[in-house]
């Protein structure tokens, strides 16, 4: 709920000062309206942040457009120096970032620290890539001129970040865009705007020029995005979130031919073959399923187990699941924090009802926990057959579903039977078999004998309804660059006489 009272310029969250305004053209701006940021572990308000409007978003685009040429022509070395200064400031504030992340997202402090460390590594990767954006030089097909290919920034970029990984997403997106020479307008998730604010404030203190980085928080995501997408000055959109919203953004991008990168939903199959190391598979499945309370697009969505090891795997997986401690992310020893909101928790309860109706067998969990906050017990179901209401459905919850197959071919066929194509996982002791199966899986990423894959050097992204483009690796910065071809006339005889 919004209030018409102007909020303060900053709030104190877990002892950390965090800006709460919109950041436009180098300065923090309060707003007439604010909205509450809740701690999902308690349901209480921890901050009030500026509730931005489409007019605020367009002011941010004004600033980004004005800064475009200036930022594009900052030399690679000077840009890299800014990045290095920002990276140093980020690492000095690791504890602040982790604590604010836990306060607004609910994830355990250990997970927040790990997310921050990975985010800083992404930002460092882009720092190191800035001076290594190379073109090509070649003779033309029939002589007389040279074919020179270079790259130039695509232009102002709208970066729409999700709530489930608030630090990783902004570091990954903004790092690539800024390294390429694109000014940015960041639209944070209303559930977790504070981590974005800390990140942007750090870039400001590092010396990024006015207008190059802009941040708008809002409860009117659709209105803000639509206003920006309809403006011809916006040349790039990068979105992480649901496939439905991604499709809407792509439709909005079409009239202006806006360059689009989409990291969308997932239906990750976690395939355990008959020769798998069952203990390793069970341990990795717990991590892959219950990290961030299952609220991850790359989570194990369908655990597909060969019948030869199904009983052993299921028994061990349930045992490990029941060892998980649920609680406030600031408490020692907590493995699983709360669901992000009451609404999201209610959707998990509805999912459990769907599973029961489909004839699934509840092996552990299955209920919300009493008391303050939005906690849900880690849950495991054994699912018979292939219920239509569960196929191609992203669970996005601390709910694991186990399916049994009779062969590797059946496992691959079932894994691919989805509209999504983000992440898949294969467990087998046979390297040749692992490669053969991985090559047959229609997914952008495949983890082999591991349940976590994100790495700065890796191209992160999916196929089919899971998105377009890649974040990370050598591909990421080029998603914010356009090739430019120069035809240079050359007198082949010049200099020979």
Phi, psi of 75 (to 5 degrees): -65, 150
Residue 289 in contact with residue 298, Cβ under 8 Å? no
Q: What is the pLDDT of residues 383-394, one digit of tens each?
A: 999 998 888 899
Q: What is the pLDDT of residues 125-161, one digit of tens each?
A: 999 999 899 999 999 999 999 999 999 999 999 999 9
Residue 294 in contact with residue 399, Cβ under 8 Å? yes
Q: What is the pLDDT of residues 336-371, one digit of tens each?
A: 999 999 999 999 999 999 999 999 999 999 999 999
Angle (nearest 5°) at CA 64 between 61 and 70: 155
With tokens 């062969």, the residue in question is 407
Of 265, 41, 302, residue with least CA distance to 162:
265
The kind and range of the H/E element at 281 are helix 278-290
Phi, psi of 179 (to 5 degrees): -65, -35
**Helix 310-322 crosses helix 278-290 at what angle (to 10 degrees)?**
50
3 has pLDDT over 80: no
Enzyme catalytic residues = 263, 297
* pLDDT band (50, 70, 90) for residue 2: very low
Structural tokens at position 211:
């207008």
The ranges of the chain annotated as CATH 3.40.309.10 are: 269-448
Query: In the predicted model, what is the mean pLDDT of residues 192-219?
Result: 98
% of the chain surpassing 90 pLDDT? 93
Fold exhibited by the domain 10-264+466-484: Aldehyde Dehydrogenase; Chain A, domain 1 (3.40.605)
Q: For the ranges 102-111, 124-133, 172-181, 402-411, which has the lowest average pLDDT?
A: 124-133
Distance, CA of 241 to CA of 221 (rounded, Å) = 12
Specify which residues 270 forms β-bridges with: 303, 425
4 has pLDDT over 60: no
495 has pLDDT over 70: no
pTM of the model: 0.95
175 has pLDDT over 70: yes
Query: In the predicted model, what is the mean pLDDT of residues 272-287?
Result: 98
Of 466, 470, 467, 408, residue with least CA distance to 439:
408
Question: Tell me, what's the pLDDT at 474?
Answer: 86
Q: What is the pLDDT of residues 429-467, one digit of tens each?
A: 999 999 999 999 999 999 999 999 999 999 999 999 999
The kind and range of the H/E element at 6 are none
- The CATH code that applies to domain 269-448 is 3.40.309.10
Question: Tell me, what's the pLDDT at 9?
Answer: 83
The ranges of the chain annotated as CATH 3.40.605.10 are: 10-264+466-484
Q: What is the pLDDT of residues 254-274, one digit of tens each?
A: 999 999 999 999 999 999 999
């Amino acid at each position: 709920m919004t209030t018409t009272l102007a909020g303060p310029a900053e709030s104190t969250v877990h002892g950390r000062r965090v800006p709460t305004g919109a950041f436009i053209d180098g300065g923090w701006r309060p707003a007439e309206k604010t909205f509450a940021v809740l701690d999902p572990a308690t349901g209480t308000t921890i901050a009030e942040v500026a509730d931005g409007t489409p007019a605020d978003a367009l002011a941010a685009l004004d600033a980004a457009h004005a800064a475009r040429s200036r930022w594009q022509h900052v030399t690679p070395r000077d840009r890299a120096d800014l990045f290095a200064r920002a990276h140093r400031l980020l690492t000095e504030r690791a504890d602040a970032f982790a604590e604010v992340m836990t306060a607004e997202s609910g994830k355990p402090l250990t997970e927040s620290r790990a997310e921050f460390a990975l985010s800083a590594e992404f930002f460092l990767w882009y720092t190191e890539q800035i001076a290594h954006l190379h073109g090509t030089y070649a003779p033309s097909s029939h002589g007389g001129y040279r074919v020179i290919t270079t790259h130039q920034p695509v232009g102002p970029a709208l970066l729409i970040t999700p709530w489930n990984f608030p630090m990783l997403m902004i570091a990954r997106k903004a790092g690539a865009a800024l390294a390429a020479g694109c000014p940015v307008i960041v639209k944070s998730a209303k559930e977790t705007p504070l981590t974005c604010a800390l990140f942007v404030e750090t870039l400001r203190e590092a010396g990024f020029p006015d207008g190059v980085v802009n941040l708008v928080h809002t409860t009117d995501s659709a209105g803000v995005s639509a206003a920006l997408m309809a403006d011809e000055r916006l040349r790039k959109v990068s979105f992480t979130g649901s496939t439905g919203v991604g499709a809407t953004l792509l439709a909005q991008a079409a009239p202006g031919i806006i360059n689009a990168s989409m990291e969308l939903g997932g239906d990750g199959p976690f395939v355990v073959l008959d020769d798998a190391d069952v203990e390793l598979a069970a341990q990795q499945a717990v991590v892959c399923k219950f990290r961030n309370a299952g609220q991850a697009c790359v989570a194990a969505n369908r655990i597909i187990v060969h019948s030869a090891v199904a009983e052993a795997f299921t028994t061990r997986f349930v045992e490990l699941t029941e060892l998980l401690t649920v609680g406030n992310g600031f408490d020692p020893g907590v493995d699983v924090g709360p669901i992000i909101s009451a609404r999201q928790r209610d959707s998990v309860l509805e999912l459990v009802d769907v599973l029961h109706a489909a004839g699934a067998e509840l092996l552990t969990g299955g209920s919300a926990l009493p008391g303050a906050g939005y906690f849900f017990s880690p849950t495991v179901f054994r699912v018979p057959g292939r219920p239509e209401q569960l196929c191609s459905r992203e669970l996005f919850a601390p709910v694991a579903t186990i399916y049994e197959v009779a062969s590797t071919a059946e496992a691959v066929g079932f894994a691919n039977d989805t509209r999504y194509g983000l992440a898949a996982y294969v467990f087998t002791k046979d390297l040749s078999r692992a490669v053969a199966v991985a090559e047959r899986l229609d997914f952008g990423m495949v983890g082999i004998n591991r349940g976590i894959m994100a790495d700065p050097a890796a191209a992160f992204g999916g196929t089919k309804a899971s998105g377009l483009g890649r974040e990370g690796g050598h591909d990421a910065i080029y998603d914010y660059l356009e090739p430019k071809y120069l035809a240079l006339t050359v007198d082949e005889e010049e200099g020979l006489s």
